[in-house]
Homo-oligomer: A and B are copies of this chain.
Amino acid sequence: MAADLKPLGSLEPVAGIRLGTACAGIKKPGRRDLVVIECAPGTQAAGVFTQNAFCAAPVIVAREHLVSSSPRYLLVNTGNANAGTGARGVHDARACCAALAAQAGCRADEVLPFSTGVIGEPLPVERLVAGMSGALSALAADDWAAAAEGIMTTDTQPKGVSRVIGIGGRTVTITGIAKGAGMIRPDMATMLAFIATDAALPQALLQECLVRAVAQSFNRITVDGDTSTNDACLLLASGVSGVTLDEPATRALFQGALDAVCRDLAQAIVRDGEGATKFISIRVEGGRDEQECLAVAYTIAHSPLVKTAMFASDPNWGRLLACVGRAGLADLDLECVVMWLGDSCIVRDGGRAPDYTEAAGRAAMSGTDITVRVQLARGAAQTELWTCDFSCDYVRINAEYRT
């Protein structure tokens, strides 16, 4: 089940980047669960990681390696998160980096490790190492679709997107893939997303571009409010196109394309949220600052009562208004709040809008995509985020996850 998630479109190769996958039998046999991404020498990398204080071993090691050198390889496994594994987990992550480095002929700190899957089980290092040679020998520039599949856990579909832009008569490509369906309320990053471009950017600028894009994409989605221990989003710039971004105008062009790639990937994660049947956009306007707009938007997005009403296509606007009321805004005058479901004004003057009809509310809820808009009428700040509904399948998926 997924809320109108489009099948994977064609993903453009990025010059300087090759990908290889293997079935390493990490959790289940015969499933693509190991992905290696190779970067041309000189590739710059920017990364954002989970803000969960309990971060997974691979996050600790990837952060370290990013500081000490530029990456030549990304090593990604699914089926095991290597989280809650203490000192042994960090040791295991390092051992995997060293094993790949030995096979590929680079330094261990030129390998960045990423893991996703069950928390608290020891990483099956031997199986990972055994699978590496297959992934390395499969490396190819056009294997983005297989890699998108290889990083999935409870995802029902692979997620990826490409944008190609022209800069100074030459072509720059941005391609990204992402996974994630549950434990999604990214805080500085999402579950796992890997984005690459052949543009040439210095590392500091690359990081700046990534942080800007993530703030309005991966950091504006939530499935269940549970920030993962393994969130990571990497942006690689191989520079092989030779296109540099020296002018403000070309930087803006690149940033716009990167923003679009990140937003599309982030929205794909929500559409494939565990058990999702609805894709819900929540827009909050008229706040004193963005923080209070976010407080209202997340209170709505995390409310089990709102999410179950969305599942039922029930325009239960009282639950929405109760969320606005408990979002913790000082001196909030509910009489001034206006609220819309789709294009229908549902709340005005502290109660149901006089011209609202249940039929109009039901019509606004009938499709897969639902928009909630809240006008706080006390300032000029605004924000938007995306979430999905809460279905019986969400409970079933998460009650059965480890069995």
Q: Out of B85, B183, B322, name the residue touching A119 (CB < 8 Å).
A: B322
Contact of A321 among B54, B305, B317, B398 (CB under 8 A): B54
The answer to whether A394 touches B120 (Cβ under 8 A) is no
Determine which of B317, B322, B352, B392 lies in contact with A392 in the assembled complex, contact meaning CB atoms within 8 Å.
B392
Chain B CB within 8 A of A302 CB:
yes
Tell me the number of copies of this protein.
2
A115 to chain B, nearest CB (A): 12
Instruction: Tell whether A85 pairs with B351 under 8 Å between CB atoms, given A53-B332, A183-B322.
Output: yes
A237-B53 Cα distance, complex, nearest whole Å:
49
Complex: A314 Cα to B396 Cα, angstroms? 13
Q: How far is the CB of A111 from chain B (nearest CB, A)?
A: 23
Tell me which residues from 314 to 362 in chain A have a Cβ below 8 Å from any Cβ of chain B: 314, 316-319, 321-326, 329, 332, 334-335, 347, 349-352
Judge whether A127 is part of the interface by a CB distance below 8 angstroms. Answer: no
Chain B residues, Cβ within 8 Å of A183? 305, 319, 322
Q: 1/0 contact trace for A3-19 toward B, CB 8 Å?
A: 00000000000000000
Closest Cβ neighbor of A399 among chain B residues: B312
Asked if A216 CB lies within 8 Å of chain B CBs, one says: no
Q: Which residues of B contact A324 (CB under 8 A)?
A: 53-54
In the complex, which of the residues A302, A308, A316, A319 has the most CB atoms of chain B within 10 Å of its own CB atom? Answer: A308
Closest residue to A228 on the B side, CB-wise? B322
A352 x B398 contact (CB < 8 A): no
The reply to whether B399 and A322 contact each other, CB–CB distance below 8 Å, is no
A402 at the B interface (CB under 8 A): yes
**Once bound together, how far apart are the Cα atoms of A311 and B391, in whole Å?**
15
Q: CB < 8 Å: which of B226, B229, B304 contacts A398?
A: B304
> Which of A86-94, A139-147, A190-198 lies on the face that meets chain B?
A86-94
Q: How far is the CA of A398 from the CA of B390 in the complex (A)?
A: 10
A267 at the interface (CB under 8 A from B): no
Asked whether B351 lies within 8 Å of A89 as measured between CB atoms, the reply is yes
Interface residue from B84, B118, B226 paired with A305 (Cβ < 8 Å): B226
Closest to A350 in B: B86
User: Does A84 contact B120, Cβ atoms closer than 8 Å?
Assistant: no
Which chain B residue lies CB-closest to A315?
B402
State whether B399 touches A395 (Cβ < 8 A).
no
List chain B residues, Cβ under 8 A from A85.
Answer: 351-352
Q: Determine whether A38 belongs to the interface, using a CB cutoff of 8 Å to chain B.
A: no
The verdict on A319 contacting B119 (CB below 8 Å), with A85-B351, A308-B399 known, is: yes
The 5 closest A-B pairs by CB, nearest first: A119-B318, A54-B325, A86-B351, A312-B399, A308-B398
Of the A-B pairs whose beta carbons lie under 8 Å apart in the complex, a sample of 13, sorted by A's number, is A52-B322, A54-B334, A83-B318, A83-B322, A84-B318, A88-B351, A119-B322, A224-B305, A304-B394, A308-B394, A314-B399, A316-B402, A392-B395
Query: Can you add 7 more A-B contacts, CB < 8 Å, to A86-B335, A86-B349?
Result: A119-B316, A119-B319, A119-B321, A120-B318, A304-B304, A312-B399, A314-B401
